[in-house]
Amino acid sequence: MPAPAATYERVVYKNPSEYHYMKVCLEFQDCGVGLNAAQFKQLLISAVKDLFGEVDAALPLDILTYEEKTLSAILRICSSGLVKLWSSLTLLGSYKGKKCAFRVMQVSPFLLALSGNSRELVLD
Amino acid sequence: MVRFKHRYLLCELVSDDPRCRLSLDDRVLSSLVRDTIARVHGTFGAAACSIGFAVRYLNAYTGIVLLRCRKEFCQLVWSALPFITCLENKGHRYPCFFNTLHVGGTIRTCQKFLIQYNRRQLLILLQNCTDEGEREAIQKSVTRSCLLEEEEESGNG
């Protein structure tokens, strides 16, 4: 007797995460410039608005953590807007007349991956 | 074959004020559309859409406008048209909006659509008109257009 056909189900996830998480740091040419969280978000949105217009400035962008001393933050953006956000951060040159630049340290579709960065690992 | 493909957007300018359509000029319209795209889609949108952008046909009496854009950026231009709310000319502001009637790949398809659309509009105008003199004038145009339609069909068939 032939064996009964085995049935199985295969589930393929093409893009498991709807959001992408970015760890960024803002560097100014001169020191002594401080921004609070609201000003930081306003800077991000104005960067996207300059390059991609009002439609893309309305993308759901969240700042998950923000440190005022080091001016670093973890951002969350939906996956379709990642390229637009990253390119507008690259092209942002100044804040209120002072030269600055965004350094993107880590990008991942999973938030857990941002908790450990092998580049910052210190070997004793 | 390698060539640049375009999309032709046939739009109608709708406005309450009758002076709005008469002050339409292709340079005024072109700058208005470009400014709106720059506001809605930013520097990227403005640069992408302005490469192949041109105003190909403009009728100040009916308010019909034919815009040309590159095929890849047709969506950007099309989505920016509803954000046009007023026309500014020589310090006068007229509120208006753009109604997109047809998107075609060539001017000829847009022209064919426009001829059929105008025929239907004439019939609608005939129903809505109140004045006797106007009614006669519209009836004459309708009969003339029907004759031309029959000629066209016999020429094609």
Can you list the domains of chain B with their CATH numbers? 1-105 (3.30.70.3250), 107-156 (no CATH)
Query: Token pair for residue A119?
Result: 């580049």
Give pLDDT, residue B149: 76
Query: What is the complex's ipTM, to 2 decimals?
Result: 0.77
Q: Does A51 sit within 8 Å of B40, measured CB to CB?
A: no
All residues of chain A having their beta carbon less than 8 Å from the beta carbon of residue B84 are none
Number of Cβ within 10 Å of residue B68's Cβ equals 18
Strand partners, A95: A98
Strand partners, B82: none
Spell A14-24 as b/e; 16+ CB within 10 A means b: eeeeebbbbbb
pLDDT at B156 over 70: no
Give pLDDT, residue B16: 85
Q: A95-109, B14-28, B70-84: which range is least confident on average?
A: B14-28
Regions of chain A where pLDDT drops below 70: 1-4, 15-16
Cβ-in-10-Å burial (0-12, 13-18, 19+) of B75 comes to exposed
Secondary structure of residue B22 in the 3-state scheme: helix
**pLDDT, chain B, mean:** 88
The residue extents of the domains of chain A are: 27-101
Q: Does B40 sit within 8 Å of A50, measured CB to CB?
A: no
Give pLDDT, residue A3: 67
Q: Span A27-101: which CATH code?
A: 3.30.70.3250
pLDDT at B92 over 90: no
Q: Does B44 sit within 8 Å of A52, measured CB to CB?
A: yes
Q: Does B41 sit within 8 Å of A53, measured CB to CB?
A: yes
Whole-angstrom Cα distance, residue B13 to residue B65?
A: 7
Give pLDDT, residue A2: 66
Interface of B with A (CB under 8 A): 38-45, 79
H helices then E strands: how many in chain B? 5, 5
pTM assigned to the model: 0.82
Establish, for the pair of chains A and B, how many residue pairs have beta carbons separated by less than 8 Å: 26
From the list A48, A51, A55, the residue facing B40 with the nearest CB is A55
Percent of chain B topping pLDDT 90: 50
